Amino acid sequence: MLPMITRRNYKPLTLSDFLNEDFFPTFNRNASSLPAVNIREDEKAFYLELAVPGMDRKDLRIEVKDDVLTISAEQKEEKQEDVEGFRRREFSYSSFCRSFYLPEDVNGEKIGANYRDGILNVEIPKLEEEKKKEKIRSVPIS
């Protein structure tokens, strides 16, 4: 039998280490699979950039309902290979959903988006000054 060598800061791995959520953080049940988002603003619009590599344009959905912009995607993939009497079958599924409250000074009818190189760019134009003023009206007091 070989002698056991112990080193400082070394702990032998056990089965419970593999099941520990900190050991494999990517498999953490609480880990978020939400894409990273950059948000910028200028005097004309708000701009969202979402990192969604590997998604197809057809898998992405953008909806506006009750002043909430929702960006979501769902992707399913299934592969099967039959070679020399062996069958290999793999499948994967991924999805996400991000929602953003829209400010009152945006034009929800003119939101535009494009997808290129794994980045989804969404432009949310602001209302023009004259349309902002139209929303203000006097209310008579009786």
Q: What is the mean pLDDT of each run of 10 residues along the chain (142 residues)?
A: 46 50 44 79 93 89 91 87 81 87 89 93 86 64 62
Which domains are present in the chain?
A: 32-127 (2.60.40.790)
Secondary structure (3-state) at 21: coil
**Token pair 């056991």: residue:** 4
Element (H, E) at 68: strand 68-83
